[in-house]
Chain A
Amino acid sequence: MLKISSAPHMSSPINTSTIMRDVIIALVPAAIVSILFFGLGALTVIISSVAACMLCEYAICRWLLHKKSTLRDYSAVVTGLLLAYNLPAWFPIWMILVGAFVAIGISKMAFGGLGKNIFNPALIGRVFLFVSFPLQMTTWPKPKFLDFLYTDAQTGATTLGIIKHIDVKNSTEALTQYSTSISELPSYGQMFIGYTGGCIGEVSALALLLGFGYLLWRKVISWHIPFYYIATVFIFTSILWLTTKSPIYDPIMHLLSGGLMLGAIFMATDYVTSPMSTNGKIIFAIGCGLLTVIIRLYGAYPEGVSFAILIMNAFVPLIDRFAAPRVFGTGRK
Chain B
Amino acid sequence: MTKTFPIGGIHPDKHKIAGDIAISSPGLPEIVYIPIKQHIGAPAKIMVNKGDKVKVGSLLAAADGVVSAPIHSSVSGEVIKVEDIIGEFGYYEPMIAIKVEGDVWEDCIDRSDEIVREIPDDCEEIIAKIRSAGIVGMGGAGYPTPIKTTIPEGKKVDCLILNGIECEPFLAADDRLMQEKGEQIIIGAKILNKLLGIQKAIIAIDENKPKAIEIITKLTKRYVGVNVRVCESKYPQGGEKQLIAAITGREVPSGKLPIDVGCIVQNVGTVFAIYEAVMKNKPLFERVVTISGDSIEKSANFMTRVGTPASFLIEKCGQISDNLGQIVFGGPMMGTSAVNPDAPITKLTSGILLLSCALSDKQPETPCIRCGKCLDACPMGLQPNAIARAVRSHNLDALQELHVLDCIECGSCAYTCPARLPLLDCCKLAKMELRQHQTKK
B309: min CB distance to chain A, Å: 15
Identify which of A16, A114, A324 contacts B383 (C-beta below 8 A): A324
Within 8 A of A (CB), among B361-409: 361-363, 366-372, 375-376, 378-383, 385, 403, 406, 409
CB-CB under 8 A from A271, the residues of chain B are 369-372
Tell me the A269-289 residues at the B interface (CB within 8 Å): 271-272, 274-278
- Least CB distance from B348 to A in Å reads 15
Residues of B within 8 A of A2 (CB): 324-327, 337-339, 341
Q: Number of B residues contacting the other chain (C-beta, 8 Å)?
A: 67
A325 on the interface (CB 8 Å rule)? Answer: yes
Q: Which of A5, A324, A329 contacts B251 (CB 8 A)?
A: A329
Is B411 interfacial (CB-CB < 8 Å)? yes
Q: Which residue of B lies closest to A316 (CB)?
A: B370
Q: List chain B residues, Cβ under 8 A from A325.
A: 7, 375, 378, 381-383
Shortest distance in angstroms between B341's beta carbon and chain A's nearest beta carbon?
7
Task: Report how far A106 CA is from B361 CA in the complex, Å.
Answer: 36
- Chain B hits for A8, CB < 8 A: 332-334, 411, 414-415, 424
A213 within 8 A of B: no
Known: A3-B361, A15-B418, A328-B7. A272 touches B333 (CB 8 A): no
Q: Mark A5-28, 1 if CB is under 8 A from B, else 0.
A: 111111110111011000000000
Q: Are B370 and A115 in contact (CB under 8 A)?
A: yes
Contacts of A113 in B (CB 8 A): 367
Judging by beta carbons under 8 Å apart, are B366 and A327 in contact? no
Interface size on A, residues (CB 8 A): 37
- CB contact between A332 and one of B251, B334, B372, B378 (< 8 Å): that residue: B251
Answer whether residue B304 sits at the interface, using C-beta atoms and an 8 A cutoff. Answer: no
Q: What 1/0 flags go to B319-350 for Cβ under 8 Å of A?
A: 00000111110001111111101000000000
Whether the pair A7, B416 counts as a contact (CB closer than 8 A) is no
Cβ distance A203 to chain B, nearest Cβ, rounded Å: 29
Does B419 count as interface, using CB distance less than 8 angstroms? yes
List, in ascending order, chain A residues with CB within 8 A of B254's CB.
Answer: 327-330
A329 lies within 8 A of B241 (CB): yes
Whether the Cβ atoms of A272 and B369 lie closer than 8 Å is yes
Would you call B328 and A9 a contact (CB within 8 A)?
Answer: yes
B375 and A9 contacting across the interface, CB-CB below 8 Å: no
Q: Is B26 an interface residue (CB 8 A)?
A: no
Q: Which of B324, B339, B371 touches A4 (beta carbons < 8 Å)?
A: B339
A7-B333, A11-B363, A12-B416 known; A276 vs B375 contact (CB < 8 Å): yes
In the complex the two chains form, what is the Cα distance from A329 to B417 in whole Å? 24
Q: Flag whether B102 is at the interface (Cβ < 8 A).
A: no
Which residues in A have their C-beta under 8 angstroms from that of B333?
A: 7-10
Contacts of B51 in A (CB 8 A): none
B425 lies within 8 A of chain A by Cβ:
yes
Residue A326 CB within 8 A of the other chain:
yes
State A116–B425 Cα separation when bound (angstroms).
22
Is the C-beta of A147 less than 8 angstroms from some C-beta in chain B? no
Residue B357 CB within 8 A of the other chain = yes
Whether, in the assembled complex, A73 has its beta carbon less than 8 Å from a beta carbon of chain B, the answer is yes
A6 close to B369 (CB less than 8 A): no
Contact status A10-B12, CB under 8 Å? yes
Q: Is residue B169 contacting chain A, with contact meaning CB distance below 8 A?
A: yes
- Enumerate chain A residues within 8 angstroms of B375, measured Cβ to Cβ: 276-277, 325
Residue of A with least CB distance to B293: A9
Give the residue of A12, A18, A327 whose beta carbon is less than 8 angstroms from that of B406: A327
Do B418 and A16 touch (CB < 8 A)? Answer: yes
B155, CB-defined interface residue at 8 Å: no
Contact of B371 (CB < 8 Å), options: A19, A278, A328: A19
Q: Give, as a whole number of angstroms, the nearest-CB distance from A277 to chain B.
A: 6
Q: Is the CB of A9 within 8 A of B379?
A: no
Pairwise interchain contact B338-A327, C-beta atoms closer than 8 A: no
Q: Let me know if B32 is at the binding interface, CB within 8 A.
A: no
Considering the complex, give the chain B residue whose CB is closest to the CB of A8: B411
In the complex, which residue of chain B has the Cβ closest to the Cβ of A4? B337
B378 closest partner in A (C-beta):
A325
* B10 contacts partner chain A, Cβ-Cβ < 8 Å: yes
- From A3, A7, A15, A324, B411 is in contact (CB under 8 Å) with A7
Are B10 and A12 interface neighbours, CB within 8 A?
A: yes
Q: Which residues of A contact B378 (CB under 8 A)?
A: 325
Q: Given A7, A324, A328, which contacts B334 in the complex, CB threshold below 8 Å?
A: A7
Complex Cα distance, B382 from A324, in Å, reads 9
Q: Cβ of A278: which chain B residues have Cβ within 8 Å of it?
A: 376
Mark interface residues in A248-288 (1 if CB within 8 Å of B CB, else 0). Answer: 00000000000000000000000110111110000000000
> Judging by beta carbons under 8 Å apart, are B381 and A10 in contact?
no
Interface pair B337/A3, CB less than 8 Å apart = yes
Within 8 A of B (CB), among A175-230: none
Question: CA of A114 to CA of B251 in the docked complex: distance in angstroms?
Answer: 38
Contacts of A329 in B (CB 8 A): 241, 251-256, 380, 406
Residue in contact with A10 in the complex, picked from B6, B169, B409, B420, CB distance below 8 Å: B169
Contacts of A14 in B (CB 8 A): 416, 418
Q: Is the pair A5, B241 in contact by a Cβ cutoff of 8 Å? A: no
Contacts of B366 in A (CB 8 A): 15-16, 73, 114
Known A-B contacts A3-B326, A327-B254; the reply to A9 vs B335 at CB < 8 A is yes
- Residues in B whose Cβ lies below 8 Å from that of A326: 7, 381
* New contact pairs (17) apart from A7-B414, A328-B6, CB-CB < 8 Å: A4-B337, A6-B422, A9-B326, A9-B335, A10-B13, A12-B416, A12-B417, A14-B416, A16-B369, A114-B366, A325-B375, A325-B382, A325-B383, A328-B406, A329-B253, A329-B255, A329-B406
Question: Can you name 13 A-B residue pairings with CB atoms under 8 Å?
Answer: A2-B341, A3-B326, A4-B339, A7-B334, A8-B333, A10-B169, A14-B418, A115-B419, A276-B383, A326-B7, A327-B403, A328-B406, A329-B254
A residues in contact (CB < 8 Å) with B: 2-12, 14-16, 18-19, 73, 75, 113-116, 271-272, 274-278, 324-330, 332
